[in-house]
Structure 1
């Protein structure tokens, strides 16, 4: 096979070179990161459904919507950015979620170790299993290529071994611990806030005036204010005689702190003070 010139690219499936076809465009996926031209992808997925990656000897299967345009020129950078984005969106705890700075540093070290494991392929299977257990135990929605169908639909499957393992891990974790899988240590316990009573701007002061009751007969009594009650000019300006009378009586009785009926039912005996008694 003739070697590629500098800056030239070739599709590994159809062997078409960009130098021969200037409009050749490539796409990649987030699993095997093989660069395949759009023509090969359209040809393979013409019948719909899932298909194996067109790259020779690759056995990974995808839906067509798993293929996307490459963002970075270097595929290693592309892979690292995608791995970090996925892990950071899953393990998204902040320093305030932990009981100490040391616990938060341990969490950052754990998250970075997961990134390196997936990036370098070191214990990648065990790392993915732990992440899946964390998602299952904490009720996170997983949007994966192998679970996503056409138009982003999710295939509903029965319980998997990962889900069973996550459920078993959640059974041994306290109910008030945020991470049901037990993967992240040092998190603050979930504290249910105390239910506060509704806000009372008057601080318990009653809205109803219990000092007096104005009856229809009482409002028609000769109080000397009939001129204001019958003045049409005051009524036009919004003056209300009943409200003015209530305000006047409230100011008169509010400072006494006693009620007439309570005073009538209680016999008060004034103390007898002699001339020789000290005050």
Structure 2
């Protein structure tokens, strides 16, 4: 559509509902809308009516209170599309749950359907008061998760934009490097041709074949070295891109998980992290603890009693508990049984056998 002074010709017949001015008579007229009621009026009327503060909409039948800072230029030609886009943006700004916050893909799909139903109700003006109340209640209850998801979206958008910018810069550098390479090849070929001609001019006809072969070898060596350098640079760039991709994947912060709200169902439950246990330098090892036996202070033994009561044997720091521990460890090593459990099961089986024998005798 042709334009005149930046104004679309299809808007020539627009008329301000307040001052009745037409763009046909004033081509520089600029119309503004307010998302409260989406009534269009010229910029001069907006300045005249709302500069002193909030006021009611001057359009007949509209009682919305409008503020000057909310007026903006219309983006879409159709006011209905403009209103739907604003509603969709506002609802998705509040209901910004992500797929990884739900227990299953089905629950996430239900959430998307519920969000579209809310948008459709607001666009079609169906149960507007009830829907707005639900949205406000949800926003006040889940402000932390909404802000966390907004921060994550901004982080992803900035990361994506940085990646796109970097790819564009790498493409530009590759194009520039290719142009430089072609220029270098042309210069080398020109220099080689001039050198070849000068050597031919100064030599004899018998040396022509030898000079040509030497020049060809020099060109092959230079091209091989250039290809090796290009392969090395290409591998280095690929490795850098791979490491950056891994780092980007790990730096994305996890979204705060929360349970079902009053509006959205199927969210993951809150899992309170377990408190960290105190640091154990021995990793759970207890020096005196054994799985198969309990070390006592002493055991009855005529030979060991003499050593226990002999000051000369104890003077060097000898401890009988070390002997007890080593002996019991060697005795129970490899058995894979607990003596207390074995004794308990033996006593139970003996008691059952005795009871059975007694019953048999009585019969």
Aligned twin of 2:25: 20
1:187 alignment partner, one of 267, 285, 292: 267
Aligned residues: 171
1:30-109 to 2 correspondences below 5 Å: 30-48=35-53, 50-109=54-113
Unaligned runs of 5+ in 2: 1-8, 147-256, 283-314, 324-363
Per the TM alignment, residue 35 of structure 1 is displaced from its structure 2 partner at its CA by 0.8
Per the TM alignment, residue 83 of structure 1 is displaced from its structure 2 partner at its CA by 0.7
**Within 2, Cα distance between the matches of 1:267 and 1:12?**
106
Whether contact under 8 Å (2:18, 2:41) holds in the other structure is yes
2:34 is equivalent to residue 29 of structure 1: yes
126-135 or 81-90, larger mean C-alpha shift: 126-135
3-state SS in 2 of match to 1:187: coil
Unaligned runs of 5+ in 1: 143-175, 206-262, 271-279
> Cα–Cα, structure 1 residues 96 and 54, in superposed 2: closer, same or farther, change >3 Å?
same
Q: Deviations along 1:86-143, whole A, 9 cap, x unmatched?
A: 0001011111111112111111111000111111112222211211121233347x9x
> Cα–Cα, structure 1 residues 72 and 265, in superposed 2: closer, same or farther, change >3 Å?
farther
> Cα–Cα, structure 1 residues 72 and 196, in superposed 2: closer, same or farther, change >3 Å?
farther
Aligned twin of 2:318: 266
Q: Deviations along 1:238-269, whole A, 9 cap, x unmatched?
A: xxxxxxxxxxxxxxxxxxxxxxxxx9633589
**Within 1, Cα distance between the matches of 2:272 and 2:138?**
23
Structure 2 length as normaliser, TM-score? 0.42
Q: Deviations along 1:9-29, whole A, 9 cap, x unmatched?
A: 111111110111111111111
Whether contact under 8 Å (1:29, 1:68) holds in the other structure is yes
- Mark the structure with the bigger radius of gyration: 2
Structure 1 length as normaliser, TM-score? 0.54
What is the RMSD of the two structures over their aligned residues, measured on CA atoms?
3.0
2:11 is equivalent to residue 7 of structure 1: yes
